[in-house]
Amino acid sequence: MLRTRMPAILGLAAVLISTLAAAQTREFPSEQGTLQVKQLVAGLEHPWSMAFLPDRHGLLVSERPGRLRLISLQGELSEPLAGVPAVYARGQGGLLDVALSPDFARDRLVYLSYAEAGDGEYAGTAVGRGRLSPDQRKLQGFEVIFRQLPKLSSGLHFGSRLVFDRDGYLFIALGENNQRSTAQDLDKLQGKVVRLHPDGKVPHDNPFVGQPGARAEIWSYGHRNQQGAALNPWTGQLWTHEHGPRGGDEINIPQAGKNYGWPLATHGLNYSFLPIPEARGKTVAGTEPPHYVWGKSPAISGMAFYDGERFPAWRGNLFIGALAGQALIRLELRGDRVVHEERLLEQLGARIRDVRQGPDGYLYVLTDAGNGQLLRLALLPQ
């Protein structure tokens, strides 16, 4: 009797497995064709960022409570890696961005940004690096190379994103810790983009080196809460984006020594619907206007330029996650100018925290939830 039932049982198991796989792959219409969305991993706790290892050896994913995971491109999830620093996991704080050294194939250095507790009640953003062990189970010799000072956050507006440029400089895009005026203070590191050597030393040609009362790390200032940054692969320029208050999310192309306005210039209002007390208008003399701005905030996070060959219709586009907007925003570019916007993945009803182009040419997306997912996106031919 057991022999008679076994084929039926195996057949039923095959159907269930097939059904589960089908449930993990969904298709949605888009302007450029059918968007195929495959779930690779679920059960991540508020995943924040990802970085792809070379030679398609998977990707590192950070979880805000303080875990770093290795995930294969087939969706195999590791145990948390050892050697990750303790994080201030309150409010918006925790383990944030992850990036690889430009010379990772030789030095195996992994860079992390995270919220770090201070001596008192406040915290700030820190950046450190450690060497990924040969067995890929831990970070060895982790050292802090940067601290946002003074520490002023009670759980809000840490930023942050890490980007290496073509010359190997490390850019760190920071939040203003929800202390608005500090974004204009050159003696503080809140609301700034900073530029460092990979070991944390300050380049001699940073714009405020030698200026009394100014932090030498600063590259640009007047930013609010930056949660997206990427290097434009065609121009080599750094692009960042930041949350506005109620309205006024914006993209910038930060230039050395320039002031990007917050809180003097903003397209947004306070969450109470009242004007920002320090604001003087949408544009203010002596500050740079946003490169692109949303009147209604999608609450943007993550940024990726698509320069892959797999999906030609996406080539030259910029992708940005939306948290409150629960979408993946696709921006068509003509040179540096944004000429069209499309919202993708709205059917999922998920907060999109990060987006990256994988080495295989697919787009990868993290959803921000207690049961967060890693999704792989493909564009099917029309």
Condensed to tens digits (0 to 9), the pLDDT of residues 103-159 reads 999 999 999 999 999 988 999 999 999 999 999 999 999 999 999 999 999 999 999
Q: Which residues of 361-370 are buried (b: 16+ CB within 10 A; e: fewer)?
A: ebbbbbbbee
Q: Which domains does the chain have, with CATH numbers?
A: 27-380 (2.120.10.30)
Section 78-102 average pLDDT: 98
Q: Rounded to whole angstroms, how far apart are CA atoms 10 and 22?
A: 18
CA 86 to mean position of chain CA atoms:
20
150: preceding bond cis by omega (within 30 degrees): yes
Among left, alpha and beta (phi > 0; psi -120 to 50; other), residue 6 is: alpha
Q: Please tell me which residue in 157, 223, 241, 243 is annotated as part of the active site.
A: 157
Q: Cα separation of 328 and 319, whole Å?
A: 7
Share of the chain above pLDDT 90, in %: 91
DSSP letter at 347 equals G
Q: Which residues pair with 344 in a beta bridge?
A: 328
Residue 356 has pLDDT above 80, yes or no: yes
Give the per-residue pLDDT at 120. Answer: 86
Note the pLDDT of residue 24.
87
For residue 273, give both structure tokens.
């619907």
- How many residues appear in the chain? 382
Q: What is the pLDDT of residues 286-342, one digit of tens each?
A: 999 999 999 999 999 999 999 999 999 999 999 999 999 999 999 999 999 999 999
Tell me whether residue 340 is one of the annotated catalytic residues: no
CA torsion angle 369 116 126 81 (round to 10): -60
pLDDT recorded at residue 382:
75
pLDDT at 6 over 90: no
3-state DSSP call for residue 14?
helix
Mean pLDDT of 163-187: 98
Task: Report the predicted TM-score, pTM, of the whole model to 2 decimal places.
Answer: 0.93
What is the mean pLDDT of the segment spanning 346-358?
A: 98
Res. 225: pLDDT tops 90: yes
Residue 184: the pLDDT is 98
